Amino acid sequence: MRAFLLAHGLLLVLGSSAFGQSWTPPTPAQRCPSKWGAADERGAANHVMPASVLRAAQLIRTGEIIELGRVLTATMPLFGTRIFDLTTKRTNGPLGANKRYSNEEIVITELGQVGTQLDMLSHQGIDGLFYNCVPIDSVATRTGFQKFGVEKLGTLFARGVLIDVAAFKGVDMLSAGYEITASDLQGAMAKQTLSLSPGDAVLIHTGWGRLWNTDAARYSGPAPGIGVGAATWLASQDVLLIGSDTSSVEVSPNPDKSLDSPVHQIALVVNGIFLLENLKLDDLAGKRLHEFALIVEPLKIRGGTGSTVAPIAVH
Amino acid sequence: MRAFLLAHGLLLVLGSSAFGQSWTPPTPAQRCPSKWGAADERGAANHVMPASVLRAAQLIRTGEIIELGRVLTATMPLFGTRIFDLTTKRTNGPLGANKRYSNEEIVITELGQVGTQLDMLSHQGIDGLFYNCVPIDSVATRTGFQKFGVEKLGTLFARGVLIDVAAFKGVDMLSAGYEITASDLQGAMAKQTLSLSPGDAVLIHTGWGRLWNTDAARYSGPAPGIGVGAATWLASQDVLLIGSDTSSVEVSPNPDKSLDSPVHQIALVVNGIFLLENLKLDDLAGKRLHEFALIVEPLKIRGGTGSTVAPIAVH
Amino acid sequence: MRAFLLAHGLLLVLGSSAFGQSWTPPTPAQRCPSKWGAADERGAANHVMPASVLRAAQLIRTGEIIELGRVLTATMPLFGTRIFDLTTKRTNGPLGANKRYSNEEIVITELGQVGTQLDMLSHQGIDGLFYNCVPIDSVATRTGFQKFGVEKLGTLFARGVLIDVAAFKGVDMLSAGYEITASDLQGAMAKQTLSLSPGDAVLIHTGWGRLWNTDAARYSGPAPGIGVGAATWLASQDVLLIGSDTSSVEVSPNPDKSLDSPVHQIALVVNGIFLLENLKLDDLAGKRLHEFALIVEPLKIRGGTGSTVAPIAVH
Amino acid sequence: MRAFLLAHGLLLVLGSSAFGQSWTPPTPAQRCPSKWGAADERGAANHVMPASVLRAAQLIRTGEIIELGRVLTATMPLFGTRIFDLTTKRTNGPLGANKRYSNEEIVITELGQVGTQLDMLSHQGIDGLFYNCVPIDSVATRTGFQKFGVEKLGTLFARGVLIDVAAFKGVDMLSAGYEITASDLQGAMAKQTLSLSPGDAVLIHTGWGRLWNTDAARYSGPAPGIGVGAATWLASQDVLLIGSDTSSVEVSPNPDKSLDSPVHQIALVVNGIFLLENLKLDDLAGKRLHEFALIVEPLKIRGGTGSTVAPIAVH
């Protein structure tokens, strides 16, 4: 709880509009145990309860589904050395008098971390420690993590909110390296007459997704996204997850050159808040659909650090 | 349309309670074009429309989510030579002044066909032809199928109905090789005071799933499931998908020894109806929850024959 | 035998110095059965007999080994969509009172066709037929070929001959698309005072290998190599294999734009002669070592189309 | 050098015929630097020099090659969770006017540690340290080891000696858990009128290999092999490598239940001597061929802990 208070305190001191601010990870004493308890492995997913699911379901008024997942291919943008390799295993047949043919495929990929994907708590650490200060070494095995595996998560079904920062800034696409601030988020929400509640799923539209199919190299390079200030503010709003139409949600590179993807730590390690990356948000933004039921069904990969997903917005 | 009429005709002649009946695949002239048109690639998924999604969403009255997906592990039941191999790629770190650590994993698996999974239309053929009589050879590539890939499907969101045949028969678990007939389905539904509508997702509880974690070899061997009669009847009811707590939904082996998994052809190739396999149905059956919103988000694997999924029932 | 005579006939008509000549694959009647018999699966490997091995071994006079294999890495030149993906599986340990640690790695690769590699007869076909006119469809399975798998080959141990065409042409590196002719080979051999005998392993130095570590993209693009004329002449010399310091041994693209890698068919399908690709030949050429024992130990991949190898020249 | 002297000392104290003796790993001070120098990464491979290669080549008197490698298949004996998964990528074609067809395959396997395979120095450690006391953590990356990778090794070409312990004991096959002692080795060699020289490759025939194709489960379970005493004695003979027709060369389990595969440490970590596992030795033993040239060409897997190989004996 101290960590949570500290995060608030930090916010108050620095203000929510700070740009490129530095950040020092809270100490174990400051951030552990987490607000969900010392033994918790699900972080903000604890927000997903029948009452909140029911509230989200009541946002379904037309039955229209908007698909937010990207098509998975070998040539999609992939971070670093990740791969998505699919080999068809075709035509086992004809079998039986009914001349059955059967096809399948072998797929090789960083299944938790490619395409549209959700980051689980075992994805990130601070100085050798996970969320709730569990030492990475103590739970790592060759075949997954004994704690914080994505199979612990379950479906995320929540009120979803689209914050269209690109529209707020009057551009099709924010520029590479643009840091979205807490003021940007607050301004866009005011324009959209939206407010946040604990347990909401926040999706941030930057427009960067238009590069997905046209320029994989640029897509995977420096990109716009939230910085330390915005992440800290969103954490203070007690959200379920933060998603975006970029590969890491956060501004890349961070304006403070000494920091390496600090938003991943603020979200996953300090606050147990999930990141949802590489979303396809153009339809949602084009329809100006800002409030909806968000449904994300992570694969139950035992010990996995995340999951490729195909989430939907329904309204 | 002829195929559809023929299927009805066949049903009328043979009756819905037939057990172990033989089956001859309809000819291309009889089954093509499909009821959804000659160019259709989505089969019964065409049932998923805003109006039907809205009706399904209105079944959500408590917000309780029941998870229907199995945890994915190397030792889960796997058909034939399929594998699920996960290798942790841990501790890329410390990175930056913030001492970030980052973990991921490489996964190797028949991603369309392991764990709880949905079969897409490119999974099965009759005598070299897919659904809509597309020659397999004409659309197969080394890296997926150019038609009927699972990325064409989108989320399935529909009224879900659990038909508890094990409860109807008064057993914990149907026996290996037991063929569920149309009469069984109809009897169980009458007992549950349920009826079917076009576009419904039908889940059949056999109790076989209790072997999932205890006896992988037996689970993957001969199993109970629907036969030709029940499949033909369900197709005549115009359902969206047929799921079960077994590895192939259909009785295995088929009582007619000359037939090799004919239900796969009746569902996928003749009628464009999906199969949802290896479901975890114990919670649903234990709660006697027979009507709910079923939500399945297949991964958008380009050219894939199916997808591992983590579906939910919500009520 | 007819095919063999035909090849000779073709050679006599066209002459051995022809450049960019067209080529029509011999008909099944012309090329089958192969010179090694209709049931043969080992082609020119039949040359490797104790007497020939002994003659080759007698070329070992200093005991110096020159390694001809490339180091295998994810970033080495890879043709098309091939991959070499290695993930360390480290530190299973400490085990026992002796505190044992054990490491290994999972590797994902087109094992028959990456790095320094030998092409087996199942790699290539003409119009649906393999060597000895076996239909590809009749022996293909999802898990390898029932005939012509590389496990049938055994170690190749033969007199090796380096033909240094780059040196003959007075260049460090032949240019992209340069077609090495039979005259080039004969001229270089005359300069080196070398002659060929049946069963010899012929290695052709083009200098292209200097791009291996410096420019993977250029290495994998248009490259120098032998054309139809040189391949036909080498086949008439009854060699065991043809190797080079390029990715396909043959000129790429073929000067006759209608032809797609015809040398692969002349060697593997028509004559049962192996190709040895991506050799590291700089040491051998630098030492002007033109005659040696060549030893190649293909992995015994059942049903495999080739094998990554680490051959040596010993003299 | 202290470690080497210590090993000798240990041998003298305990005697060479000890059975099931305990073993305590030498301390870093006792075993480092290695006899090949503190910076050495190749261990006993330093024995392979032109003079020794020439002596080995002079053992080739008939030119007969005996293949010692196993065929690689998905169903071969595999230790623990290792896999060998091959998926054919067939018939890219027809290409060009020459109607070329091209096949390949994707293979997924612990490439350094399956089938007939050679263990490299990065495979094993003692208490977090490799050979030459290099900390595992200091050289491990996600994509291989920065030191002691198998690409550093090069071809092993040496005098090979078959020690036929099964024949010495008058059995077809030693029993599971039988510990081969130094006396067994010495006795068998005396019977065969053989002696060892530094740099020799020692292959030990147990007969266990007859289970390879008939009973994979039994093959991979408890097996005969050398124990601490025999390994220590072979190390004192300064051999290049120790091979056998079992999966781990050493007796399994070790008679001292507190020890976990100590021979791996004695060979690889303490003495830099390689292990060659899963050899096919029946032909060699059947022919009573006890002295030969052994040639092993490990794949040059960068940072790899070993390599699948297809070694030969030539005489």
**pLDDT tens-digit series, residues B184-242:** 999 999 999 999 999 999 999 999 999 999 999 999 999 999 999 999 999 999 999 99
> D2 pLDDT exceeds 70?
no
Task: Determine, for residues C85 and A74 on separate chains, whether the beta-carbon distance falls below 8 Å.
Answer: no
Task: Determine, for residues A81 and D143 on separate chains, whether the beta-carbon distance falls below 8 Å.
Answer: yes
Residue C18, pLDDT score: 57
Mean pLDDT of A215-243: 97
Residue C5, pLDDT score: 34
Residue B80, pLDDT score: 87
> C277 pLDDT exceeds 50?
yes
> C73 pLDDT exceeds 90?
yes
Look up residue D88 and give its amino acid.
T
Mean pLDDT of A125-132: 97
Locate the DSSP E strands across chain C: 65-67, 84-95, 100-109, 117-119, 124-126, 140-141, 144-145, 156-164, 179-180, 201-205, 225-226, 241-244, 274-277, 291-296, 306-308, 312-314
Task: Determine, for residues D151 and C71 on separate chains, whether the beta-carbon distance falls below 8 Å.
Answer: yes
User: Is pLDDT larger for residue A82 or for residue A2?
Assistant: A82
Residues of C in contact with B106 (CB under 8 A): 85, 87, 106, 108
Task: Determine, for residues B143 and C81 on separate chains, whether the beta-carbon distance falls below 8 Å.
Answer: yes
- In contact, B239 and B273? CB cutoff 8 Å: yes
Confidence of residue A153 (pLDDT cuts 50, 70, 90): very high
**pLDDT tens-digit series, residues B277-292:** 999 999 999 999 999 9
Residues of D in contact with B81 (CB under 8 A): 74, 85
List all chains that touch chain D, counting a touch as 3 or more CB pairs closer than 8 Å. A, B, C
> D160 pLDDT exceeds 50?
yes
> B113 pLDDT exceeds 60?
yes
Dihedral (C-alpha) C53, C56, C58, C60: value to the nearest 10 degrees?
A: -120
Q: Is D188 left (phi over 0), alpha (psi -120 to 50) or beta?
A: alpha
Give the angle subtended at the CA of B259 by the CAs of B256 and B265, to the nearest 5°.
125
Dihedral (C-alpha) A219, A223, A226, A228: value to the nearest 10 degrees?
A: 130
- In contact, D27 and D255? CB cutoff 8 Å: no
The percent of residues in chain D predicted with pLDDT above 90, rounded, is: 91
Residue B91, pLDDT score: 76
**Closest residue, chain B, to A313 (C-alpha):** B155
> B183 pLDDT exceeds 80?
yes
Please state which of the ranges A298-307, C12-21, C101-110, C172-181 shows the lowest mean pLDDT.
C12-21
> A17 pLDDT exceeds 50?
no
Confidence check on the interface: ipTM exceeds 0.85, yes or no: yes
Asked if D155 reaches chain B (Cβ–Cβ under 8 Å), the answer is: no
Task: Determine, for residues A302 and B110 on separate chains, whether the beta-carbon distance falls below 8 Å.
Answer: no
Count of CB contacts below 8 A, A vs D?
13
Asked if A92 reaches chain C (Cβ–Cβ under 8 Å), the answer is: yes
Residue C93, pLDDT score: 80
Window C:52-71, CB contacts with D under 8 Å: 52-55, 57, 60-65, 67, 69-71
Prior bond to B311 cis, omega within 30?
no
CA-to-CA distance for B103 and B99, rounded, in angstroms? 13
> B274 pLDDT exceeds 50?
yes
Asked if C108 reaches chain B (Cβ–Cβ under 8 Å), the answer is: yes
Residue C207, pLDDT score: 98
Look up residue A297 and give its amino acid.
E
Task: Determine, for residues D297 and C69 on separate chains, whether the beta-carbon distance falls below 8 Å.
Answer: yes
CA-to-CA distance for D124 and D103, rounded, in angstroms? 37
Residues of A in contact with C90 (CB under 8 A): 142
The percent of residues in chain B predicted with pLDDT above 70, rounded, is: 94
Strand B100-109 relative to strand A65-67, pairing:
unpaired
Closest CA to B144 of B307, B281, B311: B307
Residue A98, pLDDT score: 96
Task: Determine, for residues B81 and C108 on separate chains, whether the beta-carbon distance falls below 8 Å.
Answer: no
Confidence of residue A18 (pLDDT cuts 50, 70, 90): low
The percent of residues in chain B predicted with pLDDT above 90, rounded, is: 91
Q: Is C131 exposed, middle or buried (0-12, 13-18, 19+ CB in 10 A)?
A: buried
Asked if C218 reaches chain B (Cβ–Cβ under 8 Å), the answer is: no
Residue D1, pLDDT score: 27
- In contact, D248 and D56? CB cutoff 8 Å: no
Locate the DSSP E strands across chain A: 65-67, 84-95, 100-109, 117-119, 124-126, 140-141, 144-145, 156-164, 179-180, 201-205, 225-226, 241-244, 274-277, 291-296, 306-308, 312-314
Q: Number of C-alpha atoms within 13 angstroms, CB side, residue B198?
A: 11
User: What six digits make up the tokens of C102?
Assistant: 């054990």
Mean residue pLDDT across chain B: 93
Residues of C in contact with A81 (CB under 8 A): 74, 85
Asked if D89 reaches chain B (Cβ–Cβ under 8 Å), the answer is: yes
**pLDDT tens-digit series, residues C3-47:** 333 333 333 333 344 566 789 999 999 999 999 999 999 999 999
Task: Determine, for residues C106 and B89 on separate chains, whether the beta-carbon distance falls below 8 Å.
Answer: no
Work out the minimum CA distance from C101 to partner chain A, whole angstroms: 13
**pLDDT tens-digit series, residues D39-76:** 999 999 999 999 999 999 999 999 999 999 999 999 99
Asked if D74 reaches chain B (Cβ–Cβ under 8 Å), the answer is: yes
Mean pLDDT of B23-48: 97
Mean pLDDT of D284-290: 98
Residue A19, pLDDT score: 67
* Alpha helices (H) along A129-245: 136-139, 165-169, 182-192, 216-220, 228-236
**pLDDT tens-digit series, residues D251-263:** 999 999 999 999 9
**pLDDT tens-digit series, residues C211-269:** 999 999 999 999 999 999 999 999 999 999 999 999 999 999 999 999 999 999 999 99
Work out the minimum CA distance from B88 to partner chain D, whole angstroms: 9
Residue identified by tokens 């028969």 is B169
Mean pLDDT of A278-292: 98
> Which of D54, D69, D104 has the CB atom closest to C63's CB atom?
D54
Size (chain C), residues: 315
Window C:250-279, CB contacts with D under 8 Å: 258-262, 264-265
Residues of A in contact with D87 (CB under 8 A): 87, 89, 106
Q: Number of C-alpha atoms within 13 angstroms, CB side, residue B73?
A: 15
Asked if C89 reaches chain B (Cβ–Cβ under 8 Å), the answer is: yes
Asked if B86 reaches chain D (Cβ–Cβ under 8 Å), the answer is: no
CA-to-CA distance for D150 and D169, rounded, in angstroms? 35
CA-to-CA distance for B127 and B246, rounded, in angstroms? 26
Count of CB contacts below 8 A, B vs D?
17
> B14 pLDDT exceeds 50?
no
**pLDDT tens-digit series, residues C301-310:** 999 999 999 9
Give the DSSP letter string of B186-212: HHHHHHHT----TTPEEEEE-SGGGGT
Work out the minimum CA distance from C143 to partner chain A, whole angstroms: 9
The percent of residues in chain A predicted with pLDDT above 90, rounded, is: 91
Residue A53 CA: distances (Å) to CA of A293, B55, B110, B294, C277: 9, 17, 33, 14, 60
Residue D202 DSSP SS3: strand
**pLDDT tens-digit series, residues D268-280:** 999 999 999 999 9
Confidence of residue C90 (pLDDT cuts 50, 70, 90): confident
